[in-house]
Every structure is written in C-alpha cells, then in structure tokens.
Amino acid sequence: MGAPDTEPGRLITLEGGEGAGKSSQIDVVAECLRALGHEVVVTREPGGTRLGEAVRAVLMTEFDTPMPAMSELLLMFAARAAHLAEVIEPALARGAWVVSDRFTDASYAYQGAARGLGDEAVATLEHLVQKDRRPDGVLLFDLPVAIGLERAGRRGQGNRFDRETIVFHERVRAAYLARARAAPARYRVIDASAPVEVVRSQIRTALAAWT
C-alpha cells in the first residue's frame, strides 16, 4: 500500500498599495499559521527565486526611458512562472501553506488598471502561466493613498513605483477594492491605517475564517 495522500497546502497572499504595511505584517501571518500546526513558506513577488530577484532588480530600476507597460507586465509573469515552478507549487504539493507578499492581484491593480493595459491582458497571462492556480485567501491591506505614500517616503530609499503620481496610486487602490468586492469570500480587507494591534487582530480574524 502506498503512503496516504498529503492534503494540499494553501496559498495566502498579501496585497495593497505602497506603504500599506504588508511586509511588516507577513511574519504575523506566518506565526498565526505555524501556531495552528502548518508548515509555512514565506515568499514575495516579484522575487522568491534567483530569476525572480534578478527580475525584481530590473523592475525597480529607473532607466533613461520609461519601461513600456507591456514589458513590465511580461517581466512580472516571467518571474511568477519561476516562482510557481520552484517555490509555490512544490510547497503546496507537500502540504505547506505559502504566504506571499503580492501575487497576481498586483498585476491587475498595477499593470492592468494603473498602467492601462486592462484586465484581459493580465487574465490571458494568468491563465497561461498559472492554469487554475489562484490564491485561497487574499489579505488586502487598504489605506488612503496619501497616508501610504507618506509611510513609503519614511522608509528612505524608494523605487520607481513609489514615485508614480497620486492618480496612478488611486487607480491601484480602486482596482484592489473592486476585486475584493467581486469575490468577498476570498478577500479580507484589512484597515491598514489602524493601530498595529488592531491590524494584527484583523489578520487573526481573517485567517480564522480560512482555517
């Protein structure tokens, strides 16, 4: 007789605009899941692999001429393909829970909405690269754009996304919130402008609903 099948893990993603605090809270998410007895793999996009981190460096660099929006989108999915193959799918197959700082919702918000490429372009690549893989749960860290950019500015070294216009960031936020409204069972909107302990309480409540 063969070994019993391992129950597949789940993919939890953290999304939000600049300065929303995803990176600060990802360890809280991981700790909550480990306390429930899950193996947890923490990762990020773009990144997570050697290829992904190399692509991230390109994406964050300001060149002499602006990067075409389609080039940006294709680079995101090139990194995502490696991320899925090398990190996400193997971890889920062995029963681990994967917690990722950003995933494909970011492509819909940043490249689809804010860059103006539209949902169809993103959806086409999503199907090609991911097949049926979608996050099991999305924690959307939401706060007013002005507050987020102020926080991002206090981090010191910014990137070219931080330096986009207010209108760009408002489009990102609106796209995220629209996606959350369209699939409320999969998304939990976290008030990222609240005090730290309140944010953590919201995270714990959201995870409880998925576990």
State the total domains in the chain: 1
Asked if residue 178 lies in contact with residue 6, where contact means CB atoms within 8 angstroms, the answer is no
Q: Determine if residue 53 is labeled as part of a ligand binding site.
A: no
CA atoms of 88 and 146, how far apart (whole Å):
33
Q: Determine if residue 137 is labeled as part of a ligand binding site.
A: no
Instruction: Give pLDDT, residue 50.
Output: 98
Domain, as residue range, for 16 = 11-210
pLDDT digits (tens, 9 = 90+) for 50-94: 999 999 999 999 888 999 999 999 999 999 999 999 999 999 999
Domain annotation covers residue 53: yes
CATH of the domain at 89: 3.40.50.300
pLDDT digits (tens, 9 = 90+) for 109-152: 999 999 999 999 999 999 999 999 999 999 999 999 999 888 88
Give yes or no for residue 101 having a pLDDT over 70. yes
Q: Determine if residue 153 is labeled as part of a ligand binding site.
A: no
Give yes or no for residue 210 having a pLDDT over 70. yes
Domain annotation covers residue 68: yes
Domain annotation covers residue 2: no
Domain annotation covers residue 58: yes
Q: Determine if residue 47 is labeled as part of a ligand binding site.
A: no
Q: Determine if residue 201 is labeled as part of a ligand binding site.
A: no
Tell me how far CA of residue 164 lies from CA of 168, 182, 187, in angstroms.
6, 27, 26
Q: Determine if residue 17 is labeled as part of a ligand binding site.
A: yes
Domain annotation covers residue 116: yes
Domain annotation covers residue 5: no
Domain annotation covers residue 1: no
Domain annotation covers residue 47: yes
CA atoms of 161 and 3, how far apart (whole Å):
48
Q: Determine if residue 2 is labeled as part of a ligand binding site.
A: no
